[in-house]
Amino acid sequence: MRKTGPDLQKAVPAIQRCRACRGQGFTKGVFFELDCAACDGTGWLGMDGMPVEPAALIRALGRRVTEAEQRLVNQVKASVWIEENNRRGPGGSHFTGD
Ligand SMILES: [Zn+2]
């Protein structure tokens, strides 16, 4: 499923959820919710543990969304296939001949 084109890899950094705020981008203070200092309030960090610049982060998130959508589509396809197979299963092949 890899696209050809040399710029895909360098444009999209590897990212991880910020552990300090559990990916929410803010931490709960006593009275206020504060922007998470570890990730600059984005909820995401590069694999080196440093905040990612916004443009690169957007590309990285976009790729994650695309992958997640693809996974969903595949799951739906798979469940439809299983459903159809089950329908054809018990009773479906039952043949009352003579
Ligand atoms: Zn954070």
Q: What is the pLDDT of residues 19-37, one digit of tens each?
A: 999 999 999 888 888 999 9
With respect to residue 49, please indicate whether it lies within any of the assigned structural domains: yes
Let me know if residue 97 belongs to a domain.
no
Distance of CA 79 from the midpoint of ligand 1 (Å): 36
What's the pLDDT score for residue 9?
54
Distance CA 28, CA 34 (A): 6
Given the structure tokens 């018990």, which residue do they identify?
90
Tokens coding 30: 């006593």
Per-residue pLDDT band at 18 (split at 50, 70, 90) = very high
What's the structural domain count of the chain? 1
**Structural domain for 58, as ranges:** 13-88
Q: Which residue has the tokens 């479906």?
A: 92
pLDDT at 95 over 70: no
Within a domain: 3: no
CA 50 to centroid of ligand 1, rounded, Å: 10
SS3 62: helix
